[in-house]
Amino acid sequence: MAEIAVIGCGQAGLVVATAFASKGHHVTGIDLDRRKIEACRMGVAPIDEPGLDELLTQGLASGRLTFLDQYPEYPERIPAEFVFIAVGTPTSPSGASDLHALKSAITRMAPALRDDAIVVNKSTVPVGTCDEMVRLLRRSGAPKATVVSNPEFLQEGDAIHNFIEPDRIVLGSNDPDSLERVAGLYEDFGATVVQCDVRTAEMIKYASNAFLAMKVSFINEMASICEVLGADVSGVAHGMGMDRRIGAQFLRAGIGWGGSCFPKDVSALEYAASLHGVRAQLLRGVQETNRDQRRQVLRKLRGVLGRLETARVVVLGASFKPNTSDVRESPALEVASLLRLGGAEVRVVDPHVVPESVPAQFPYLDVTGDLMAAAQDADALVLATEWPEFIDLPLEDLAGVMRRPLIVDGRNVLDDRAVRAAGFIYRCIGRPNAEGGGVTLPEDRADERLDGRITDWPTVERAERADRERIPSRNGRQAAALASD
Minimum distance between the CB of residue 419 and ligand UGA, rounded to whole angstroms? Answer: 20
Q: Check: CB of residue 91 under 8 Å from CB of residue 267.
A: yes
- Smallest distance, Å, CB 123 to ligand UGA? 10
Residue closer to ligand UGA, measured from CB, 212 or 439:
212
Q: Where are the beta strands (DSSP E) in 57-181?
A: 65-68, 82-85, 118-121, 146-149, 168-172
Of the pair 235, 472, the CB lying nearest ligand UGA is at: 235
The distance of closest approach from Cβ of residue 264 to ligand UGA in the complex, given in angstroms and rounded to an integer, is: 8
Q: Please state whether beta strands 425-428 and 146-149 pair in parallel, antiparallel, or not at all (unpaired).
A: unpaired
CB 300 within 8 A of CB 427: yes
Smaller CB distance to ligand UGA: residue 264 or 420? 264
Residue 281: CB minimum distance to ligand UGA, A: 21
Q: Are 337 and 359 in contact (CB under 8 A)?
A: no
The rounded Cα 303 to chain-centroid distance in angstroms is 28
Which value, in Å, is the radius of gyration of the alpha carbons in the chain? 25
Closer Cβ to ligand UGA, 122 or 347, answer by number: 122
Interacting residues toward ligand UGA by CB under 6 A: 124, 152-156, 209, 212, 216, 250-252, 254, 256-259, 261-262, 320-321, 331
> Contact 412/438 with Cβ under 8 angstroms?
no
CB of 369 to ligand UGA, least distance (A): 20
When the beta carbons of 257 and 426 are compared against ligand UGA, the nearer one is 257
262/362 with CB nearer ligand UGA:
262
Active site (annotated) includes residue 9: no
CB of 329 to ligand UGA, least distance (A): 8
Q: In what order do the strands lie in the sheet with 65-68?
A: 65-68, 26-30, 3-7, 82-85, 118-121, 146-149, 168-172, 192-196
Catalytic: which of 130, 226, 261, 428?
A: 261
| Alpha helices in 422-475, H assignment, sequence order | 446-451, 460-470
Return phi, psi of residue 76, to 5°. -70, 155
- Cα distance between residue 364 and residue 340, in whole Å: 8
How many Cβ atoms sit within 10 Å of the Cβ of residue 107?
15
Catalytic residues, which ones?
Answer: 261
